[in-house]
């Protein structure tokens, strides 16, 4: 483990994931072009992104079971190939119904890659580097958003819809070829973990994984921290900035890039904090959720058009949310045996994308209702967006409540099984401060 071959496998896997993120996010900068090309309602346009996420989320658990049975190499390779088919379909779609089929294929292929890559990391690496590599997986993969926001957006503007989406598909084809040549499920000298002998046994193991409080904590952590940024970056952010705020398309693309650049900075920091304070990971997630909701409140309540600096603060906050959601996978790793880690990661990954497609669909629905009833003069009116974006509060707020309940159960289980008691964060901080204070001993351990 942790060998040069490990890093080669990691690099190829991350490239395939980066290409997949590009396919996933191309529609985020093509929302205005899609409205012109297909001439349909906001709800149907949002369906392009929503069905992609529904397919993605719906396949996470089946994909997780398959990872535990057939290994990650097959799934990453097949996933890349399916995304090529999906983007090619979208490139030449004559109407919205065909385009939706293309995005469903993109969602299906995308579903297989990330959790397979997380499993590869756990098979090829060991030690404290694992949670940091999980962060780097998300961060480097997110460069795919930059590729969609800059070169793809430029090609879309200069060469048109079909050329741009065909070129995007070519990147995943390159990832498909590299995966076939270089990937392997595990080092040659590594013992293969036991696999389920039948589907019935696999489903029984899935039930055990779902019931683990740590898995549930990972699910809700992913749910509350990822969804806002995903809904913004994958579809509604670009129309909001261009049509409601009056940004030019280049500026809007730059703001989408800022989300990724922020994640590249925040990810390693969160990875170090996660490894350093493993019993306080949920506090990081809750802090990120509070930050997102506070900044969104400032944007939605701002009188008149929000200033550019406030939108910059918003995209920075969402940029922190992306790597923050990866903490959920660290919960899955901590509280599940490696033989069921694929299933656990699949369950966790359902969280953020379930919240994302609910938010995305509700935003489109609320925009349509306001436009059809005459409450807004245009489909993408600023005041209409204020009301539409407010749907995030009940969706994410529900997730925060469920996270707190799952954390309570997880801590109770941890105390029963290992005798580790985790008190309130303010108590731990006070004790740490007392140890470092005048006349006190310097603390040598982490804040637990």
Q: Are the C-beta atoms of 225 and 352 separated by less than 8 Å?
A: yes
Q: Model's pTM, two decimal places?
A: 0.75
pLDDT tens figures, 236-290:
898 899 999 999 988 998 998 899 889 888 988 888 888 888 888 899 999 999 9
Domain ranges of the chain: 4-184+200-417
208: three-class secondary structure by DSSP: helix
Burial status of residue 60 (CB atoms within 10 A of its CB: 0-12, 13-18, 19 or more) = buried
Question: How confident is the prediction for the chain on average, in pLDDT?
Answer: 86
Contact 154, 5 (CB under 8 A): no
Return d(Cα 207, Cα 33) in angstroms, integer. Answer: 44
292, 318 in Cβ contact below 8 A? Answer: yes
Structural contact between residues 305 and 246, judged by C-beta atoms closer than 8 angstroms? yes
pLDDT by residue (tens digit) across 379-425?
Answer: 789 999 999 999 999 999 999 999 999 999 998 888 887 766 666 66
Handedness of CA 186, 263, 385, 403 (dihedral sign): positive
Within 10 angstroms of residue 74's Cβ, the number of other Cβ atoms is 18
**DSSP class of residue 340?**
G
pLDDT tens per residue, range 63-120: 988 887 888 999 999 999 999 999 999 999 999 899 999 999 999 999 999 889 988 9
Give the class (CATH, top level) of 4-184+200-417: mainly alpha
Contact in structure between 422 and 448 (CB atoms under 8 Å): yes
DSSP 77-128: HHHHHHHHHHHHHHHT-SSHHHHHHHHHHHHHHHHTTHHHHHHHHHHH--ST
| Gap between the Cα atoms of 344 and 129, Å rounded | 20
């Amino acid at each position: 483990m942790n060998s040069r071959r490990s890093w080669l496998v990691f690099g190829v896997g991350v490239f395939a994931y980066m290409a997949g993120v590009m396919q996933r996010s191309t529609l985020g900068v093509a929302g205005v072009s899609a409205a012109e090309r297909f001439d349909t309602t906001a709800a149907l346009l949002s369906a392009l992104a929503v069905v992609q996420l529904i397919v993605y989320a719906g396949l996470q658990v089946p994909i997780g079971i398959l990872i535990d049975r057939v290994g990650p190499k097959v799934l990453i390779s097949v996933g890349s190939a399916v995304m090529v088919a999906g983007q090619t379909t979208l490139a030449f779609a004559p109407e919205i119904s065909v385009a939706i089929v293309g995005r469903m294929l993109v969602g299906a292929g995308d579903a297989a890659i990330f959790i397979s890559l997380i499993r590869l990391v756990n098979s090829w690496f060991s030690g404290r580097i694992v949670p940091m590599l999980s962060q780097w997986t998300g961060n480097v993969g997110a460069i795919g958003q930059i590729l969609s926001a800059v070169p793809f957006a430029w090609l879309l503007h200069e060469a048109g819809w079909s050329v741009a989406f065909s070129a995007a598909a070519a990147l995943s084809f390159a990832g498909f070829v590299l995966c076939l040549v270089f990937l392997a499920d595990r080092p040659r000298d590594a013992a293969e973990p036991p696999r389920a002998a039948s589907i019935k046994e696999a489903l029984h193991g899935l039930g055990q994984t779902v019931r683990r409080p740590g898995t549930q904590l990972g699910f809700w952590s992913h749910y509350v921290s990822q969804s806002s940024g995903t809904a913004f970056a994958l579809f509604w952010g670009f129309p909001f900035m261009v049509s409601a705020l009056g940004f030019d398309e280049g500026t809007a693309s730059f703001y989408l890039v800022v989300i990724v650049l922020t994640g590249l900075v925040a990810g390693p920091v969160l990875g170090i904090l996660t490894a350093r304070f493993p019993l306080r990971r949920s506090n990081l997630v809750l802090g990120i959720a509070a930050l997102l909701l506070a900044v969104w409140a400032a944007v939605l309540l701002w009188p008149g058009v929000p200033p550019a600096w406030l939108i910059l603060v918003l995209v920075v906050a969402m940029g922190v949310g992306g790597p923050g959601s990866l903490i959920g996978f660290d919960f899955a790793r901590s509280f599940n045996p490696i033989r069921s880690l694929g299933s656990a990661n699949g369950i966790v990954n359902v969280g953020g994308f379930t919240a994302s497609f609910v938010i995305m669909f509700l935003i489109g629905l609320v925009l349509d209702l306001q436009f059809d009833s005459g409450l807004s003069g245009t489909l993408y009116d600023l005041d209409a967006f204020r009301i539409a974006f407010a749907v995030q509060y009940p969706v994410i707020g529900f997730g925060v409540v469920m996270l707190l309940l799952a954390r309570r159960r997880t801590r109770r289980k941890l105390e029963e099984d290992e005798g580790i008691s985790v008190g309130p964060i303010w108590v731990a901080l006070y004790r740490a401060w007392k140890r470092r204070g005048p006349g006190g001993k310097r603390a040598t351990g982490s804040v637990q």
